[in-house]
Amino acid sequence: MDSSPLKLFSRENLFAVVFFAILVSLLWLVVSLFSPFLEDFLWAIILALSFYPLYQRLHRILRQRENLASLIITLLLLIALVVPGFFILMSIGQEAKNVYDDLSTTPWEEKSQHILEALRGTPVEDLIKKLGIQMEQAEQLIRRGILAGVKSIPKFIGEKVTTIFKNLALFGVHVLFIAVALFFFFRDGARYYRKIVEFLPLERGHREVAVQTVSRTVTAVVRGMLVTALVQGCLAGAGFAVAGVPVPVLLGLFTFINSFIPFLGAASVWIPSAIWLFTQDQHMAAVGLALYGALVISVVDNIIKPLIIGEGTKVPVFLLFFTILGGLRVYGFLGIFLGPIIIALGMAFLTIYREVYLKPSHEAPLPEKKEASREAPAE
């Protein structure tokens, strides 16, 4: 009884406390050093996990030349992913400038008058009269609303164009960091993997489950994004062709590419197209394209992507849908990957907890001594 406090403050325990305090402090310092590049590292890890099978195939073709294989696959990814993104940003900036010029020079007084004349003799006019509103007052309100909304659009576009061009330099720096990290992850990824697995305080089988869960989830997310973007691009191209928008194939390609970018998405293509149709006095086509874009093209993203990712990660679609939305809100674009990874890892660790800590207690048979003691009086 008296010796327990002495055992608590023994030399071994004090050394262990000091060691773990120093270890945690050093790890915290390391994380703080790498925190400015953490997002770049995460992107590099996601790309490395997604395209590692391609690297392995190239590695075999080049007869085990790690540096050359890593350099080639990194350059190919930069060309395939970054260069189109750069030109898309440039084209978006140029197109936004053209839209800005067109909206600034469009005679919106005449356009609003055409809209008001089109409303006469329709159920809308009857509804306005039933509400006790004079048609002249409704016309003034509609005209003011149209003019106020249109005047705010050029200012909004001008601000976004300025932001895009300011961020191009920062985008280039982050791309450089990702490329450097990606090269080393391809080249030394297998060694990093073995080291990380060794540090996990789990049994060998459970370690593999945790690591494979991350790899499987990243692959499923990439597959889901590709399939969703392809479907959205095809649907958008068909809608543009039916609505009479020029170059529907090119706009469908833009929809496919922009589908990967959350702050743009497919809506960044079909909304300007509907506005363009509206300015060309094709009001029915504009309304039809807007409804088709809102109810079909954009909704596909919330249906196909969770289904494909859920099938690959074995996470319920209901949870996955809100996980992706929550990940986008908390982590931005990166949250599309981190959200499913977090929920999949959580479910994997719950499974490990059930197998290690709960199953033995539930499946343990009754002790034989108790049964023997019950049978003893019968003899």
Instruction: Write out 357-370 in H/E/C secondary structure.
Output: HHHHHHHCCCCHHH
Which one, of 296, 336, 331, lies nearest residue 320 by Cα? 336
Mean pLDDT (whole number) for 220-233:
85
CA distance readout (Å), 311 to 55, 219, 220, 226, 305: 25, 11, 8, 15, 10
Buried b (16+ CB within 10 A) or exposed e, 318-337: ebbbebbeebbeebeebbbb
Q: Is 327 helix (H, G, I), strand (E, B) or coil?
A: helix
Residues belonging to the chain: 379
First to last CA, the chain: 46
pLDDT for 333 beyond 80: no
More confident residue, 33 or 163: 33
How many Cα atoms are found within 13 Å in the side-chain-facing hemisphere of 105? 6
pLDDT for 82 beyond 50: yes
Instruction: Write out 226-270 in H/E/C secondary structure.
Output: HHHHHHHHHHHHHHHHHHCCCCHHHHHHHHHHHCCCCCCCCHHHH
d(CA 128, CA 122): 10
Condensed to tens digits (0 to 9), the pLDDT of residues 189-211 reads 888 877 877 777 777 777 777 87
pLDDT for 93 beyond 60: no
What's the pLDDT band for 371 if we cut at 50, 70, 90? very low
Contact between residue 65 and residue 59 where contact means Cβ atoms under 8 Å apart = yes
Compute the CA torsion angle 153, 158, 161, 167 (nearest 10 deg): -120
Rounded to whole angstroms, the maximal C-alpha distance in the chain is: 108
Condensed to tens digits (0 to 9), the pLDDT of residues 118-168 reads 666 666 666 666 666 666 666 666 666 666 666 666 666 666 666 666 666
